[in-house]
Homo-oligomer: A and B are copies of this chain.
């Protein structure tokens, strides 16, 4: 039984094939809930590490062939470009098991399985929307999937061949829920278009912006602020993995990038006209800038906040905090004592100074209480 009282629904043994970040995290989460987990990976050292971390038991550890129990569920967490081949092999190897995968692009896996004549009734693809800038078993954690969408993409029946059975979809939904994720069912094509937009586009944009910093003067990067940091954070992600992801979703990412490129061209043209002639000689150029910036404001407002609500529904105040041990603790103790729940937090550093700005977001109804209570405790609170 989990912390929130829901019983474990996944029936083991579960075989995890691929003990990288996602596979090991799934193993850790299942093992922590008492599910029997078997681990396999082409790399013996990778599987040994995952086992040492507590993610399960390596297959073949008993010595004799056939000593491992037959899995009821196989989770393929292989690199994206070999996922279809591995899923097909596992379907053939374990004829009673349901097989799923965690690849972040789904239509290609499905096409690869159809091309291999795989038994799709026992397959249901999945994509946990969880990841980190770091990779490998060492970065794994049992709570990686907690609260994250886990998209399920059942195979539709096609050309007389059956698609994913209801039982297979249910088994993968149970897995997702058991490790703390939020199952969301979506056709593969729709999923791949969605991640091209909300995941692959920001990755590409961050990399393109960060690439401009390579040759920048030291004095210029020294002026970098939080805006540049935020825009480029995901640019630190593993290029090898992202080559595979972008490659597997190439057409849909291109469809998202093409209109962005057109917007960029329009912006560039407006900037060049303003540069060449000044505002008076460039009619419409300022309007073009305003359109681009206004479109960004509109798009940004569509991103949901925590608990599915909009970010704009929170109310923020800023508190000045001395940058030394104990001060943040004192701040959060005072927030807690006010009975106010912290919805979002930004800690804004002050390079070269022993001060930080904590931007504390709360529900609007709690704002007045928060400001009063923090003020009463001597905090410098700034509204705005």
A contact residues vs B (CB 8 Å cutoff): 4, 81, 129, 132, 134, 138-141, 143, 146-149, 151, 180, 182, 184, 186, 190, 193-195, 197-199, 201-214, 216-217, 219-225, 227-237, 239-240, 242-243, 246-247, 250-251, 253-254, 256-261, 263-265, 267-268, 270-272, 274-275, 279, 285-286, 289-290, 292-304, 306-308, 311, 318, 320, 323-329, 331-336, 339-342, 344-345, 347, 349-355, 357, 380, 382, 384
Contact = CB atoms under 8 A, between A and B. Distances in A.
Contacts of A147: 349-353, 355
A190 B257 CA distance: 32
Contact of A231 (B202, B259, B349): B202
Given A147-B351, A227-B203, A352-B147, A250 B272 contact: yes
Contacts of A344: 347, 349
A306 B349 contact: yes
Contacts of A132: 384
Contacts of A240: 290
26 contacts: A4-B354, A143-B355, A143-B357, A182-B353, A184-B219, A197-B220, A199-B225, A199-B227, A202-B209, A202-B227, A206-B300, A207-B293, A208-B264, A209-B296, A209-B299, A212-B260, A230-B230, A231-B234, A232-B300, A239-B296, A250-B270, A251-B272, A323-B341, A325-B340, A326-B336, A333-B333
B213 A243 contact: no
Contacts of A247: 274, 279, 285-286, 289
Given A227-B202, A295-B214, A236 B300 contact: yes
